[in-house]
């Protein structure tokens, strides 16, 4: 494996989708050292706060995005309409902070890599502190430009979410893993946390209903996505998630925070199940 030359940026674009992200964005951009990537691009959905002011003060490029309710959403739209022009692209949320260990690992790994993409690992912060157990968050958010894009879902206005939430990148080629973690420092209010997951559960339910009759979509899913979809259609989804999160994956190590986190996630899966039932019983369901 080649060693990166000192002060030579990685052939990498860091793309950060945003909307009203002023609470997180400066910390996110501050954690990207000068010289790490050739480009840092903000893909903004037209919020009303100071997100764009912060982005420009920090020297990031800004691209405006307006969703028309259909495919493609924000990340795929960026890849198709504003090709990064670098070998690699890393999609980073505004509340995700690159750690020194992560930066060091990608500096060692990307030059000379033969992989097409990399799974990334995250440390989740909940109620102000990082969780030690409960939910092993992984995302395939670093890949070669041109090696693939996020899976295509024809929503046609059944969702108000303008960015790929739980869509999975479909990558052509071998995929590796970066083990050093990124900090996911979600610091929004609990009211917003609950409201956001209500939106996500509606999307998940509609997606499962839509995908159930379309095998090409399911064929591109990871085994975790398939298990999640299967469990979500069972009334046991919530209780099973709580048991797995709190007991099997070590949520108990975080005490009350781990218990509350597991309860909220169990509620999320119960919501998905109930919304699937509601959709199936609806006169509009076919």
Domains of the chain (ranges, CATH numbers): 10-184 (3.90.550.10), 190-281 (no CATH)
In the prediction, which pLDDT does 30 show?
A: 97
Helix (H) or strand (E) holding 63: strand 61-64
- Give the pLDDT confidence of 21-52 residue by residue, as tens digits: 999 999 999 999 999 999 999 999 998 999 99
Is the model's pLDDT at 284 over the cut of 90? no
The model's pTM is 0.90
* Confidence category of residue 63, pLDDT binned at 50, 70, 90: very high
Cα–Cα nearest to 143, from 174, 165, 112, 164: 174
- Give the pLDDT confidence of 107-147 residue by residue, as tens digits: 999 999 999 999 999 999 999 899 999 888 999 999 999 99
pLDDT, mean of residues 99-103 = 97
Mean pLDDT of the chain: 90
In the prediction, which pLDDT does 200 show?
A: 92
Range with lowest mean pLDDT among 159-163, 164-168, 214-218: 214-218
In the prediction, which pLDDT does 3 show?
A: 46
Q: What number of CA atoms fall less than 13 Å from residue 254's CA on the CB side?
A: 24
Is the model's pLDDT at 214 over the cut of 90? no
In the prediction, which pLDDT does 221 show?
A: 64
Percent of the chain residues topping a pLDDT of 90: 70
Cα–Cα nearest to 45, from 62, 30, 31, 60: 62
In the prediction, which pLDDT does 13 show?
A: 98
| Peptide bond just before 101 cis, omega within 30 deg | no
């Amino acid at each position: 494996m080649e060693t990166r030359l000192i002060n030579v940026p990685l052939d990498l674009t860091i793309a950060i989708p945003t909307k009203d992200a002023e609470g997180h964005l400066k910390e996110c951009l501050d954690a990207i050292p000068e010289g790490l990537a050739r480009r840092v691009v903000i893909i903004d959905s037209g919020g009303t706060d100071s997100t764009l002011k912060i982005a420009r003060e920090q020297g990031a490029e800004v691209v405006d995005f307006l969703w028309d309710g259909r495919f493609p959403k924000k990340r795929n739209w960026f890849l198709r309409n504003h090709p990064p022009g670098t070998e690699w692209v890393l999609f980073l949320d505004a509340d995700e902070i690159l750690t020194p260990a992560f930066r060091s690992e990608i500096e060692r790994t990307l030059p000379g890599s033969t992989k097409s993409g990399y799974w990334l690992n995250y440390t989740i912060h909940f109620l102000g502190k990082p969780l030690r157990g409960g939910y092993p968050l992984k995302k395939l958010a670093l890949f070669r430009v041109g090696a693939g894009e996020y899976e295509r879902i024809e929503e046609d206005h059944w969702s108000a979410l303008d960015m790929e939430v739980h869509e999975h990148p479909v990558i052509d080629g071998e995929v590796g893993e970066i083990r050093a973690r990124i900090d996911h420092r979600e610091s929004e209010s609990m009211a917003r946390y609950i409201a956001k997951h209500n939106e996500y559960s509606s999307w998940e339910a509609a997606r499962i209903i839509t995908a159930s009759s379309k095998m090409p979509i399911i064929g591109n899913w990871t085994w975790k996505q398939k298990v999640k979809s299967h469990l979500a259609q069972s009334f046991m989804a919530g209780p099973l998630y709580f048991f797995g999160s709190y007991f099997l994956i070590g949520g108990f190590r975080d005490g009350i925070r781990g218990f509350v986190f597991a309860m909220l996630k169990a509620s999320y899966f119960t919501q998905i199940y109930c919304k699937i039932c509601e959709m199936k019983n609806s006169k509009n369901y076919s």
